[in-house]
Amino acid sequence: MQVRTRFAPSPTGYLHLGGLRTALYTYLFARRNGGTFILRIEDTDQEREVPGAVEKIYASMRAAGLTYDEGPDVGGGYGPYVQTQRRHLYLPHAEELVKRGGAYYCFCTKERLDEARAEAEKKGESYKYDKHCLRLPKEEVERRLAAGDMHVIRQNVPPTGRAGFDDVLYGHVEVDCSTLDDNVLIKADGLPTYNFANVVDDHLMAITHVMRGTEYLSSAPKYNLLYESFGWTPPMYVHLPVVMRDATRKLSKRYGDPSFEDLLEMGYLKEAVINFIALLGWSPRSEREFFTLPELEECFDLEGLNKSPSIFDMNKLTWFNFEYMRKLPFEEFLTLATPWLSKVLDPAKFDFRRIAELLNTRTEVLNRIPEMVDFLAEMPEFDNELYTHKKMKTDPAVAKAALAMMRPVLEGVSDWTEESLHAAIMERIPETGMKTGQVLWPLRIALSGKASTPGGAVEIAYLLGRDEALRRLEASRSKL
């Protein structure tokens, strides 16, 4: 079988992480099986469409490295790949379905439907369309269609019996037809609903495997009834469990959870995000945690999918990112770090290469860089208690002595390189009878005003430059 999979987002704004995971698994499954991966834009619900969202989808797919073989902006033999451009295809299929008895025209007014809905609500029943228009005489239907009466086309779900389908993860799923509603397939504006378009398009695009969220699990029996009415073979279904924020809540942008774009903007590496997302619901069944996209393409399989909801743990993602960041070749890291350094530091004044060297193995996420280095631009306020450190055996009194002693040492360094600074400081310490930490710890704090900094006293003194380092040393000393 020639595997063909599709990712079918609706352009409602951004690529949320659950969507990215569906896209990733769909892509990986196609690649692993030498198949074709398709992007289809599902934009028939025009009220929900957000301007610019389609372009965002293309950009996100590119950023994630999920290249599609067929799609709106790349073409392919099964296009068009945007549902509103396929509108001419749906109506004839719905009419065919009417002929086959799987659907019917419905002329019910909004008032009638609203009334029936209110009635059901009053009785505490769940609303279902009562098949009123299925019972209209054929002549009346034809007359009203010819007269141009407003109408929709509904699915004709059998009143009795069972409907089901097979899911790779959930096995055979079956429901009583009596629980299913006669959904609208073609709306009054002539556009299909998702319920219809997904079936027609998956068939016409020869999709063999459909992966999507479990929110579609309960509708899938109805879709299978449509396949049966058409006499088509349904695709294999893989419904993926939801991605949760915690034990009780779904991951959702509405509650401030980040989208894929947000993560990239925050300075997460796409490789880290992809690696992390891949493991949200799939396991290689080994202890291995690190996978590049090409490696995932080699080993992704449906057997490794997990049926229980996975929890999106931001700390875990940050840990992945830290690991990826640490392993980045230096030049790449420098390029990525430079714009973040520039937010708080003047490149004419600071040695960005050296700062990046210090940050390369210490950065969790790029957006943390400004707060890690802004002390270089401006000395922060700090409390003298910062000098107290038990293990280093320092306190403000020790600091006072250490700084007084370091001042002439630093002043004596003329070329202001790290080597000279280091040599001068290390040469002096043994003569004072103090421990190295008792000097270096206070000196670093006196120069940075912070308990933790990328780099130690020597690196910071070098980065600040002679004048600024001596100025800070003096200011901190006189504060003691």
10 binds ligand GLU (CB under 6 A): yes
Q: Is 253 a catalytic residue?
A: yes
5 binds ligand GLU (CB under 6 A): no
- Closest approach of ligand GLU to the CB of residue 216, in Å: 6
| Cα–Cα distance measured from residue 51 to residue 279, given in angstroms and rounded to the nearest whole number | 32
When the beta carbons of 78 and 216 are compared against ligand GLU, the nearer one is: 216
Mark 210-229 with x for binding to ligand GLU (rule: CB under 6 A) and - for no binding. --x---x-------------
- Closest approach of ligand GLU to the CB of residue 20, in Å: 12
- 236-240/36-39 β-pairing: unpaired
Tokens for 9, please give them. Answer: 């987002």
Residues from 34 through 53 that contact ligand GLU (CB under 6 A): 42
| Cα–Cα distance measured from residue 21 to residue 253, given in angstroms and rounded to the nearest whole number | 15
3-class secondary structure, 326: helix
Instruction: Please give the size of the binding site for ligand GLU, defined by CB under 6 A.
Output: 7
- Closest approach of ligand GLU to the CB of residue 113, in Å: 25
Please name which of 163, 169, 310 lies closest in space to residue 238, comparing C-alpha atoms: 169
3-class secondary structure, 43: coil
- Closest approach of ligand GLU to the CB of residue 19, in Å: 7
- Closest approach of ligand GLU to the CB of residue 448, in Å: 49
When the beta carbons of 154 and 239 are compared against ligand GLU, the nearer one is: 239
- 106 beta partners: 152
Pick from 198, 259, 453, 476 the residue near ligand GLU by CB under 6 A.
198
363 binds ligand GLU (CB under 6 A): no
Tokens for 220, please give them. Answer: 């899938």
| Cα–Cα distance measured from residue 368 to residue 371, given in angstroms and rounded to the nearest whole number | 6
The one-letter amino acid at 75: G
When the beta carbons of 240 and 356 are compared against ligand GLU, the nearer one is: 240
Sequence length of the chain is 480
When the beta carbons of 42 and 364 are compared against ligand GLU, the nearer one is: 42
When the beta carbons of 9 and 72 are compared against ligand GLU, the nearer one is: 9
When the beta carbons of 45 and 357 are compared against ligand GLU, the nearer one is: 45
Asked if 458 and 410 count as a contact pair (C-beta separation under 8 A), the reply is no
Piece of the chain touching ligand GLU by CB under 6 A; list 7-15, 84-92, 104-112, 330-338: 7-15
3-class secondary structure, 151: coil
When the beta carbons of 9 and 258 are compared against ligand GLU, the nearer one is: 9
- Closest approach of ligand GLU to the CB of residue 8, in Å: 4
For 85, which DSSP code? G
Asked if 318 and 341 count as a contact pair (C-beta separation under 8 A), the reply is no
Please name which of 183, 210, 34, 187 lies closest in space to residue 102, comparing C-alpha atoms: 183
Tokens for 209, please give them. Answer: 């495997």
Pick from 5, 8, 183, 369 the residue near ligand GLU by CB under 6 A.
8
| Cα–Cα distance measured from residue 221 to residue 217, given in angstroms and rounded to the nearest whole number | 8
9 binds ligand GLU (CB under 6 A): yes
193 binds ligand GLU (CB under 6 A): no
Residues from 308 through 337 that contact ligand GLU (CB under 6 A): none
What is the rounded end-to-end Cα distance, in angstroms, of the chain? 78
Tokens for 371, please give them. Answer: 């707060």
Q: Which listed residue (128, 250, 253, 435) is catalytic?
A: 253
Active-site amino acid positions: 253
Q: Which parts of this chain interact with ligand GLU (CB under 6 A)?
A: 8-10, 42, 198, 212, 216
